[in-house]
A and B are shown apart, each in its own frame.
Chain A
Amino acid sequence: MIIEIGHFALILALCVALCQATIPLIGVARGNYGAMLVGTTGALGQFLLVAVAMAALMHAYVTSDFSVINVIENSHTDKPLLYKITGVWGNHEGSMLLWVFMLALCGAAVASFSNNLPPALRALVLSVQGMIAVGFLSFILLTSNPFLRTATPPANGQGLNPVLQDPGLAFHPPFLYLGYVGFSVSFAFAVAALIEGRVDAAWARWVRPWALASWCALTVGIALGSWWAYYTLGWGGWWFWDPVENASLMPWLAGTALIHSSIVVEKRNALKSWTILLAIITFSLSLVGTFLVRSGVLSSVHAFAVDPARGMFILLLLMVAIGGSLLLFALRAPALQPGGVFAPISREGALVLNNLLLATAAATVFLGTLYPLFLDVMGGDKLTVGAPFFNKTFGPLMVPVLIAMVVGPMLAWKRGDLAAVMQRLWLAFAGALAAAVLAYILAGGSHVLALLGLGLAGWTGTGVLVEWADRVQLFRTGLGNSWRRALGMPRAAHGMTLAHFGLAITVAGISATAFDIELIDTVKIGGTLPLGQYQITLEKVEQQQGPNYIADNATIVVREGGTVIATMHPQRRFFTLQQQTTSQTAIRTGIGADLYVALGDPADATTWTVRAFWKPLVSWIWFGALVMAFGGLVSLSDRRWRVGVAQKFRRAPVAATAGE
């Protein structure tokens, strides 16, 4: 019964989305305010209905209702409760439902928080959101329905892929999807602006918080996924340049460019058509990513069940959404009034450079990801494009990004003085040198590129702090004065400093991976292996019974010069239902370095394969990403975005006594 309610709710959501997509458009065309308002009600109603559908499917999973095919295929009564819940989106159908749920959530958020928008613009934005919802709801209902029943329910289900039975599944996909789908809002704003034929500072101020919020979610989602891969897969890597990972990186790069170029639109009324194009491309890349992952045209470790019919359906959606919006762009964007002019050396110039580099980086990842597909379709060789390509192309592109990132914010708008800025940045040069020299002393000169990377991280980190100190006039005026200046600064400025500093942390972490020490060897119980300055002793391996697996639990003692510094318990879990083994690594995380131990296969009864790593600064990669996302949140809390507040003040000047 509950399943049918969910199913009907989803069908109703499609009907509501149809209304939401069409009626506000008619309202805008005829100037009918009531029809425009259907967008708002529709978005809220759609969210409610999709939430009911989501809850219904979740209920089926939690109660192990094996009359539902999707539950049979992906669940089992022995599965711990957490994975019964997260298993809802651990498969194609359920994850599409999560996708649509996030879309409805964004629509409802736009409907609730944009009372300050001009009614026509809001109606257009919600109508575009409705169109996207129509596409994906019909995709779910026609090709990937999670609510289908079977007349002959089996006694138990087939269980969830053991690799997915990890708390990571609870957080990684929701954040990632929120990021992907969140960009639909900036896409909708872009399409609405093209229809209206007007892009101005106010438009940029409305669209930027949405882009920023999606960017934060996507940053967290990607970082969580990378961290998950690091601790769960047992080979110590954290990024594999797998097509699906690239599919998430491309919208991130384009989205990063978008949040930067929209600053130029807001402050200087320039780069308008470029920003519109970026908003379209960012969401388009999310859609293309969805296509690549779910159509099976590329082989990837993340692949879902492959079905060409689904691929064809998504391709049609792409044609309508991307093709349509780009066509609209081609027709309407030339009419947009070009804005303010600026010299190449200026804040705008730096932001343009940032955009060019990020767009090139996204294009590079795009080419590398799709090249095997292109070649294959042409009837050429089978090949995969892997880390060597991306490291050689993507890496060098990030060097000027980091250099310019420090210089750009210190340049004045319109026309900047590069020489003067460079003089103020002497401390950043010193920071770069110090970082590189320190790394050389600690690790030697065997990895020149890594030293260079750490030097860049040092440059970026110090440079960002110098810029911030400059603004609050640290040490040039009293500390109290600086404090007051810092409080007086817009939150967005602090947010930028935080986010840029976070990137410096991540870059340091990535660069330091060159200094990893790795060890793979077999060891008898009681035997010891050397790992750098540590000695690793395999004390014992015991069998343990888990809820739905049997584990070989190793006890590994790590010593440094005779003193015990850690006792670690890596596991090998054998999931009896799926006949599949997973690795549960043991990681001792430190600020300086991680110790990472994974238990491999037994060679015989008393000999085990052990894989161990010493990874300097590796946790900085994800910590930096969190700092970036936190910077984004701080920027989001800037009162400038809460234009609604300002407008309420304007409308009711009497009430505006408190000078916020």
Chain B
Amino acid sequence: MRKLLFLLPVLAFLALATWFALALRPDHDPRELPSALLDKPAPDFVLPSLAGGEPVSLASLHGQVVVLNFFASWCVPCRVEHPILMRLAAQEKLPLVGVAYKDKVEDSRRILTQLGDPYRAIAVDAEGRLGIDFGVYGVPETYVIDKSGRIRKRFVGPLAPDVVERELLPLLRELNRS
């Protein structure tokens, strides 16, 4: 009995080591932040359009796959991401819808005139309400919404080229097929 007690530390350690080994799987990334809304219907919204005219709403986008991108003129990482969005909109015909997050309308317009506009439509979320509904950590953040209006994927931070190739584009192809 006493001998078993002395075995306890090494057994506890073996359990711990197994756990560590599981945590080292290549697909495990502690920095990944899945959305709490994953596979749930995206929050509905009707917001003024940056271009003026018809308001942008989720209902109007129904039936198509949408990539919703939260951005702001004051956001430095958005500038990093911007050339990638421009390329994707031009080459891959990415169905990009922008949300100008907590930003002045004239500032958002100015930055898009300066850098180019990759978006098909842009909703103005001046108060950041939609950001709260989606659970946005900070800009930029990107959500993929499928044809039935469900959130299928969330990307926190600027989209990196390798993530686009490895995750975003395959997902879009798959969603468009179904």
A binds B: yes
Q: A291 vs B24: C-alpha distance in the bound complex, in angstroms?
A: 11
Could you give, for residues 302-330 of chain A, a 1 whenever the CB lies within 8 Å of some chain B CB and a 0 otherwise? 00000010011001001100110011011
Q: Smallest CB-CB separation from B76: which chain A residue?
A: A579
Is A644 interfacial (CB 8 A cutoff)? Answer: no
Could you give, for residues 8-32 of chain B, a 1 whenever the CB lies within 8 Å of some chain A CB and a 0 otherwise? 0110011001011111101010111
Least CB distance from B90 to A in Å reads 27
Is B173 interfacial (CB 8 A cutoff)? Answer: no
* B17 touching A315, Cβ below 8 Å: yes
Within 8 A of A (CB), among B87-143: none
Is A286 interfacial (CB 8 A cutoff)? Answer: no
Is A19 interfacial (CB 8 A cutoff)? Answer: no
Return the contact of A312 from the options B2, B24, B28 (Cβ within 8 A): B24
* B30 touching A296, Cβ below 8 Å: yes
* B24 touching A297, Cβ below 8 Å: yes
Least CB distance from B12 to A in Å reads 8
Q: A420 vs B2: C-alpha distance in the bound complex, in angstroms?
A: 37
Given contacts A377-B22, A377-B23, contact A326 B13 (CB under 8 A): yes
Residue of B26, B30, B31 contacting most chain A CB atoms (<10 Å): B30
Least CB distance from B76 to A in Å reads 8
Q: Smallest CB-CB separation from A297: which chain B residue?
A: B23
B contacts with A: majority SS: helix
Q: Which residues of chain A are within 8 angstroms of B19 by Cβ–Cβ distance?
A: 373-374, 377
Least CB distance from B119 to A in Å reads 26
Least CB distance from A582 to B in Å reads 15
Given contacts A315-B17, A377-B22, contact A298 B30 (CB under 8 A): yes
Q: A448 vs B34: C-alpha distance in the bound complex, in angstroms?
A: 40
Given contacts A297-B24, A297-B28, A297-B30, contact A334 B6 (CB under 8 A): yes
Within 8 A of B (CB), among A71-104: none
* B10 touching A382, Cβ below 8 Å: no
Q: Which residues of chain A are within 8 angstroms of B24 by Cβ–Cβ distance?
A: 295, 297, 308, 311-312, 315
Is B177 interfacial (CB 8 A cutoff)? Answer: no
- Contact residue range for chain A? 20 to 34
Q: A297 vs B28: C-alpha distance in the bound complex, in angstroms?
A: 8
* B10 touching A308, Cβ below 8 Å: no
Return the contact of A329 from the options B6, B14, B23, B31 (Cβ within 8 A): B6
* B9 touching A277, Cβ below 8 Å: yes
* B23 touching A322, Cβ below 8 Å: no
Q: A333 vs B7: C-alpha distance in the bound complex, in angstroms?
A: 10
* B31 touching A315, Cβ below 8 Å: no
Q: Which residues of chain A are within 8 angstroms of B59 by Cβ–Cβ distance?
A: none
Q: Which residues of chain A are within 8 angstroms of B9 by Cβ–Cβ distance?
A: 277, 280-281, 326, 329-330
Q: A273 vs B7: C-alpha distance in the bound complex, in angstroms?
A: 12
Q: Which residues of chain A are within 8 angstroms of B166 by Cβ–Cβ distance?
A: none
Return the contact of A330 from the options B7, B22, B28 (Cβ within 8 A): B7
Could you give, for residues 28-72 of chain B, a 1 whenever the CB lies within 8 Å of some chain A CB and a 0 otherwise? 101111100000000000000000000000000000000000000
* B6 touching A273, Cβ below 8 Å: yes
Return the contact of A334 from the options B2, B26, B32 (Cβ within 8 A): B2
Is A32 interfacial (CB 8 A cutoff)? Answer: no
Given contacts A329-B10, A330-B9, A330-B10, contact A297 B26 (CB under 8 A): no
* B14 touching A323, Cβ below 8 Å: yes
Least CB distance from B26 to A in Å reads 6
Is A481 interfacial (CB 8 A cutoff)? Answer: no
Q: A312 vs B24: C-alpha distance in the bound complex, in angstroms?
A: 7
* B30 touching A330, Cβ below 8 Å: no
* A376 touching B6, Cβ below 8 Å: no
Q: Smallest CB-CB separation from A336: which chain B residue?
A: B6
Q: A297 vs B16: C-alpha distance in the bound complex, in angstroms?
A: 13
Q: A312 vs B13: C-alpha distance in the bound complex, in angstroms?
A: 16
Q: Smallest CB-CB separation from B17: which chain A residue?
A: A319
Q: A280 vs B6: C-alpha distance in the bound complex, in angstroms?
A: 13
* B20 touching A291, Cβ below 8 Å: yes
Return the contact of A318 from the options B6, B10, B20, B23 (Cβ within 8 A): B20
Q: Smallest CB-CB separation from A311: which chain B residue?
A: B24
Is A299 interfacial (CB 8 A cutoff)? Answer: yes
* A323 touching B13, Cβ below 8 Å: yes
Q: Which residues of chain B are within 8 angstroms of A377 by Cβ–Cβ distance?
A: 19, 22-23, 28
Q: Which residues of chain A are within 8 angstroms of B7 by Cβ–Cβ distance?
A: 330
Q: A467 vs B158: C-alpha distance in the bound complex, in angstroms?
A: 61
Q: Which residues of chain A are within 8 angstroms of B34 by Cβ–Cβ distance?
A: 382
Q: A380 vs B24: C-alpha distance in the bound complex, in angstroms?
A: 16
Q: A299 vs B30: C-alpha distance in the bound complex, in angstroms?
A: 6
Q: A180 vs B32: C-alpha distance in the bound complex, in angstroms?
A: 31
Least CB distance from A576 to B in Å reads 15
Q: Which residues of chain B are within 8 angstroms of A299 by Cβ–Cβ distance?
A: 30-31
Q: A511 vs B31: C-alpha distance in the bound complex, in angstroms?
A: 33
* A373 touching B17, Cβ below 8 Å: no
Within 8 A of B (CB), among A505-537: none
Least CB distance from A368 to B in Å reads 15
Q: A373 vs B6: C-alpha distance in the bound complex, in angstroms?
A: 27
* B30 touching A376, Cβ below 8 Å: yes
List the 3 shortest-distance A-B pairs measured between CB atoms, nearest first: A326-B10, A299-B30, A297-B23
A-B contacts, 15 of them at CB < 8 A, read A280-B9, A291-B20, A296-B30, A308-B26, A315-B21, A315-B24, A318-B17, A323-B13, A323-B17, A326-B10, A330-B7, A334-B3, A374-B19, A376-B23, A376-B30
Apart from A295-B23, A299-B31, list 19 A-B contacts with CB within 8 A. Answer: A297-B23, A299-B30, A312-B24, A315-B21, A319-B17, A322-B17, A323-B17, A326-B9, A329-B10, A330-B10, A334-B6, A372-B30, A373-B30, A377-B19, A377-B22, A377-B23, A377-B28, A382-B33, A382-B34
